[in-house]
Structure 1
Amino acid sequence: MLNIVSILLGILSLVIVIPATIPFLGWGNWFALPIIVAGIAAGQLSSHRSGRNFCLVVLAIAIVRLALGGGII
């Protein structure tokens, strides 16, 4: 059950992260980071690891975008 919660949180955060890759919308990643961390925590408590891994991929995308934009842009 926690794996499904983790996947749903990952999808929700991905919906926020994808538009945040557009220039001047990078601040949206800051809203997605707490959701991603909650998804990783739920995935870690689950017996399956697919939800956690999906959230880690979304986290990597968000962090790379924040690094490219200098944290804000």
Structure 2
Amino acid sequence: MLNILSLFVGLLVLLLTLVGFIPFLGWLNWLTIPMGIVGLALGALSSSNMGRNLNLILIIVCAIRLFLGGGII
């Protein structure tokens, strides 16, 4: 059950991350990283690790996007 919830949070973060790749919407990644951490925690509590891995990859992608954009753009 926790893995399904983690995957749901991961898919929501994925959609918001895709929107955050549009120029001048990079600030959206500041919202998606904490959401990804919540999904990562839920995935860590579950017996499966698919949701955890999805959220971990999304957190890394958002952090790289913020780094390349200077934190805002």
TM-score bracket for this pair, using the shorter chain length: over 0.9
Which residue matches 1:30? 30
TM-score, length-normalised on structure 2? 0.96
Taking structure 1 as the reference length, the TM-score comes to 0.96
Query: Which runs of 5 or more residues in structure 1 are unaligned?
Result: none
Tell me the equivalent position of 1:18.
18
Deviation at 1:19, TM superposition (A): 1.1
1:51 aligns with 2:51: yes
AA partner of residue 20 (structure 1)? G
SS across alignment from 1:70: coil
**Large movers: runs of 4+ above 3 Å:** none
Q: CA deviation at 1:64?
A: 0.9
What fraction of aligned residue pairs are identical, expressed as a percent? 48
C-alpha separation between the residues in 2 aligned to 1:21 and 1:66? 10
- Paired with 2:33 and 2:59, the residues of 1 have a C-alpha distance of 7
RMSD: 0.7
Q: 2-side partners of 1:71 and 1:12: how far apart?
A: 21
Gaps of 5+ in 2: none
Deviation at 1:53, TM superposition (A): 0.1
Mapped partners of 1:38, 1:4: distance in 2: 13
Distance in 2, Cα, partners of 1:61 & 1:42: 19
| Offset, 1:27 | 0.2
